[in-house]
Every structure is written in structure tokens, then in C-alpha cells.
């Protein structure tokens, strides 16, 4: 008889790799090089502030996942705090929209890099399609295979940044370093304006939480994995960033569409170009792999609570994976590439439109923590936010600041707002229709926490018993 429900099989290596998976995206390599190019060594100030903001995000998601260790993440956390409408909106705007925007942009990158560096005669869309379909099949085969693939991809990414960073800092290179260029922080207080750019270097660590039903001891593993991922990524990117500015002029880094390749070439010559091209492709694969694992489980969790069509709650009987959700996410990633709107010139717009939607979801997550602390002060929490509620309040203020200052160029900023707000409006319309017309429920009435917790707590205790009063 096929096992019912998701399987708990992920240990700490896989959960740390999953937390790193979206954060080591190829677009973050571009942001890292451009940030150091614009801000010089002082960009590390913006990076540290960004890490703190993302640490606040990790605190909130760790506390929420400890209360409700359930596949579905932000939707389940929002139900008892802010009600059904905002629960659905948080998922659609902050995660499904991100898949359409950031996922398509990331999946487009391997095609462009492969076509330009290795096979100029192959159209980029063909290679991007092959990568997405291969990763979709890996996720269809099961969470264990996803975990191993994610460990390999993340290890290669982090290892490359560390190796090149150390080689550059200790002059183990094919070319000599450049003379020191300017002061440590040429922008002065203006470096704070790069915080939003720095934030993108660490965004997405909470993508491990939708896998809560497949993580061993999620109350312990999930907080450790997110905090560890932030520390690992900060060290690796600081090493690579400082090595880059030792070998590439700041202006070239700031203006390049592939500053990581410039740094690789300066440190290791032509082999460095091929190495960084391969790593850029693997970084995109890591991101898409994480999206194909996390988003279907969000949809699975929503379907289990009647927040999404029931077919998303069906698992493949052989591999116990949400196959229909995986197929839908793959299509959402591929369609913008197939119709040509996820071109290289639109990648920055797509990435930051996704970031805008992410910020909305993070604000909702911080509000969830505050509301649930007030409404349910005595509920068991496997993790509690240090210095509560300061991280949540600072986190909300930071998100609002970055929404307002999402990009300095007004034309680009308008395009980012346009795409993000269109998808936000569509998400809101769908949420209203689903809650009021299909579910026939109030939009903002919170669902009792006990009702949301029951299934996950019973599963965590290893029992099959459910209660009739809250079942379904």
C-alpha cells in the first residue's frame, strides 16, 4: 500500500543546501559584482545590514514553522493570524509570482550563458527548456533525489566562491592584482542606498520551510539551516567580492552584465571564464531546483486546507511527490521564456518585480509572529525570536524602505512596479473569488490555531489519530 503523506527524510546537509538553494542564484553573482563595483569595499556595510534584515526574516519563519510544522509555509502561518484572504495572497504574490518572475529569469540565464560560451549555434531557449524539464523530473522522482542534487549544486557554488576568493586575496592568480583604488567606502552614508541590492544576495532562505513535513526534527533543523545558510553565504560572497575588486576595476564591475566572469578571467585566465560560466549555469539550476521543490509543496499544503484546488493535494503513488504542482511550476517558469518576455534585457526588471512581491510576503510573515504572540502567548514554540518584537518591527520597516527604494532609475522603477502590481492585483482577485465564491468564507476572519495545527502535530507525534471536531 502506498504511503500517505510526505516522507520525513531530509537531514541537516539537505536542509542547509535547500536554504542556500535560492540564495546562490546566478543573479546574485551579478548583484554581488555590481554592488562592489558601485560601492567599493564599503559595499560590505550594505551586505551586513542586508544579512541582519534577512536574519529577522529567518527568526520569523523559524518561529512560525515551529508553531505549525506543516508543508505550505506562509499560508498556514497566516490563516490563524490574518485570515484566508491574506493567506492566499501571501502565497500567490510572494511565491507563485516570484516563480513566474525570478524563476523565469533564472532559467533564462543558463540558456544565454551556454549559447554564448559553449555552443553559439544553439538557441538559448532550447537549453533553458532542457534544464527545467530535467530538474522537474528530478523533483518528480522524490525529495531524497532533490536533496542530493541540491547538496551537490550548492557545494559547487559555495566552494567556487571560496576557492576563487582565497586565490584572489592571497594573489594565487595568473595576473597580478591592481593597485589599491580609492578609499574603503567612497560613497560614505550613501552606501546605505545599496541595501536593497545587498538584500537580494541573501533572499530566499525561508524556502526550506515548505519542506517541513519532509525534514527530520523540523523545529530544530529549520532554524539551524536558515541561520547557517546566511553565515555560509556571507563568508563566501565577501571573499569573492573582495577578490573581485583586487583584479577588476570598480567601473567595469559596476557596468558588466556578468561581473563574476570578469573576476574569474582576471584570477584564473581563460579556464576561469569557463569555470564561472559553468558555475553560473549551476547557480541557476540550484535556484530552479529549489523552486520546483518548494512551490508545489506550498500548493500541496494549501490544497490540504481547501485554499487551492484539491488536485494539488494529490501525491504521486510511486514517489510520494506533488506531481501536478511540479508540472505547473515548470510551466510557469517556461512560458515567459517560450513567448520571449524573459529575455536578457528584462532579467533585472523580472528579478526586482519578484523582490517587490517577496517583500509583501515578508511583511505578512512578521505581522503573523506579532499577532500570534498576542493571541496565543502560551502555545508551544520550538523557536522564539530573540528580542521580540524588535526584529519583526525592524523587518517590516526595512521591507517598506526597500519597496520605496527598489531601483534608482525612475523608468526601470516604473516598469518594476507595473509588473509587480499587475500580478498583485490578479492574486488579490483570485483570493477574493476563492474565499468568498468557492469557499463561501469571510475574507479576514482568522482560522483557530488549533484547527491549523492539528494535522501537523498528530503527524509529528507519529500517530494516525485525528479528531472529529476539527477534521478536514
**Structural domain contains residue 245:** yes
**Structural domain contains residue 458:** no
pLDDT at 1: 37
| DSSP string over 298-351 | HHHHHHHTTSS-GGGG---TTT---HHHHHHHHHHHHHHHHTT-S-GGGHHHHH
Residue 261 has φ and ψ, to the nearest 5°, of -70, -40
**Structural domain contains residue 226:** yes
Average pLDDT over the chain, rounded to an integer = 81
Query: What is the pTM for the complete model shown?
Result: 0.80
Residue 145, pLDDT above cutoff 50: yes
**Structural domain contains residue 5:** no
**Structural domain contains residue 472:** no
Write the CATH number for 292.
Answer: 1.20.1740.10
**Structural domain contains residue 461:** no
Domain that holds residue 345: 12-442
**Structural domain contains residue 437:** yes
Residues 6+ away with beta carbon under 8 Å from 432: 85, 443
List pLDDT tens digits, range 201-258.
887 787 777 666 666 776 777 888 888 889 988 999 999 999 999 999 988 888 877 7
List pLDDT tens digits, range 60-109.
988 988 887 665 568 888 989 999 999 888 888 777 777 777 778 778 87
List pLDDT tens digits, range 275-324.
888 888 888 887 888 788 878 887 887 787 777 788 888 888 887 888 88
User: Domain total for the chain?
Assistant: 1
Partners of 215 in beta bridges: 10
In our burial notation (b when 16+ CB lie closer than 10 A, e otherwise), range 245-263 reads bbbbebeebbebebbbbbb
- Helix, strand and coil in the chain, % to nearest 5: 75, 0, 25
**Structural domain contains residue 91:** yes
**Would you state the cell numbers that stand for residue 299, as one nine-digit string?**
500548493
Amino acid at each position: 500500500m502506498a504511503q500517505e503523506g510526505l516522507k520525513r527524510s531530509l537531514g541537516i546537509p539537505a536542509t542547509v543546501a535547500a536554504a542556500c538553494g535560492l540564495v546562490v542564484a546566478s543573479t546574485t553573482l551579478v548583484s554581488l559584482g555590481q554592488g562592489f563595483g558601485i560601492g567599493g569595499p564599503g559595499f560590505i556595510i550594505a551586505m551586513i545590514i542586508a544579512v541582519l534584515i534577512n536574519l529577522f526574516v529567518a527568526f520569523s519563519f523559524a518561529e512560525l514553522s515551529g508553531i505549525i510544522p506543516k508543508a505550505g509555509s506562509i499560508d498556514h502561518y497566516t490563516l490563524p493570524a490574518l485570515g484566508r484572504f491574506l493567506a492566499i495572497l501571501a502565497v500567490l504574490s510572494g511565491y507563485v509570482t516570484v516563480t513566474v518572475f525570478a524563476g523565469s529569469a533564472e532559467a533564462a540565464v543558463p540558456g544565454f550563458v551556454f549559447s554564448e560560451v559553449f555552443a553559439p549555434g544553439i538557441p538559448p531557449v532550447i537549453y533553458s527548456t532542457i534544464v527545467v524539464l530535467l530538474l522537474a523530473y528530478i523533483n518528480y522522482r522524490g525529495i531524497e533525489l532533490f536533496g542530493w542534487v541540491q547538496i551537490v549544486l550548492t557545494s559547487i557554488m559555495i566552494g567556487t566562491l571560496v576557492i576563487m576568493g582565497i586565490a584572489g586575496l592571497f594573489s594565487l592568480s595568473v595576473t597580478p592584482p591592481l593597485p589599491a583604488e580609492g578609499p574603503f567606502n567612497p560613497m560614505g552614508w550613501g552606501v546605505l542606498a545599496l541595501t536593497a541590492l545587498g538584500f537580494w544576495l541573501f533572499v530566499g532562505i525561508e524556502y526550506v520551510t515548505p519542506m517541513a513535513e519532509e525534514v527530520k526534527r523540523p523545529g530544530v533543523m529549520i532554524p539551524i539551516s536558515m541561520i547557517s545558510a546566511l553565515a555560509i553565504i556571507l563568508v563566501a560572497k565577501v571573499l569573492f567580492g573582495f577578490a573581485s575588486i583586487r583584479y577588476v576595476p570598480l567601473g567595469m564591475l559596476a557596468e558588466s552584465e556578468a561581473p563574476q566572469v570578469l573576476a574569474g578571467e582576471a584570477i584564473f585566465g581563460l579556464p576561469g571564464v569557463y569555470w564561472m560560466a559553468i558555475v553560473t549555469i549551476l547557480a541557476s539550476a540550484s535556484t530552479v531546483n529549489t523552486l520546483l521543490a518548494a512551490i508545489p509543496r506550498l500548493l500541496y499544503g494549501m490544497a490540504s486546507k481547501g485554499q487551492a484546488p484539491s488536485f494539488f493535494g494529490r501525491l504521486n503513488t510511486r514517489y510520494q511527490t506533488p506531481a501536478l504542482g511540479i508540472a505547473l511550476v515548470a510551466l510557469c517558469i517556461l512560458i515567459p521564456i517560450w513567448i520571449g518576455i524573459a529575455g536578457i534585457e528584462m532579467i533585472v526588471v523580472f528579478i526586482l518585480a519578484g523582490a517587490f512581491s517577496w517583500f509583501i510576503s515578508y511583511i505578512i510573515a512578521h505581522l503573523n509572529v506579532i499577532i500570534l504572540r498576542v493571541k496565543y502567548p502560551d502555545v508551544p514554540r520550538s523557536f522564539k525570536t530573540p528580542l521580540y518584537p524588535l526584529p519583526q518591527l525592524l523587518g517590516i520597516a526595512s521591507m517598506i524602505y526597500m519597496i520605496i527604494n527598489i531601483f534608482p532609475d525612475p523608468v526601470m522603477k516604473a516598469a518594476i512596479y507595473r509588473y509587480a502590481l499587475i500580478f498583485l492585483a490578479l492574486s488579490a482577485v483570485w483570493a477574493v473569488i476563492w474565499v468568498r465564491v468557492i469557499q463561501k468564507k469571510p475574507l479576514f476572519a482568522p482560522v483557530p490555531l488549533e484547527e491549523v495545527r492539528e494535522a501537523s502535530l498528530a503527524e509529528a507525534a507519529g500517530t494516525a489519530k485525528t479528531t472529529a471536531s476539527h477534521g478536514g
